[in-house]
Amino acid sequence: MIESKLGADGRTTLPKAVREALEVQPGDRLRYVILDGEVRIRAVRPIQRLYGVLAYDGPPVSLNDMERAIGEAALGD
């Protein structure tokens, strides 16, 4: 179990193990979700960190090809 102390101003420091588990760095944003008397802390991921997450090794695809594929998938063709 990991603990931290709450200061008089309502601030606390995230322990190193928590920062590492969330993969957060100074300046990153956090989201607090309150659910059934518990608080969950989640890292807010900037869109820039998503670049390259979905790897695609195929040839370049045009916007028209993408729109056609989406239309065909929507129609079930």
Residue with tokens 């729109």, as numbered in its chain = 67
pTM above 0.75, yes or no: no
Structural domains of the chain sorted by starting position, each given as residue range(s) with its CATH number in brackets: 16-75 (2.10.260)
Q: What's the token pair of residue 13?
A: 């420091």
pLDDT in tens, the chain (77 residues): 999 999 999 999 999 999 999 999 999 999 999 999 999 999 998 777 777 778 888 898 999 999 999 999 998 85
CA distance 17 to 24: 11
Q: What's the token pair of residue 25?
A: 């760095």
Give, as one character, the DSSP assignment of residue 31.
E
CA distance 29 to 59: 36
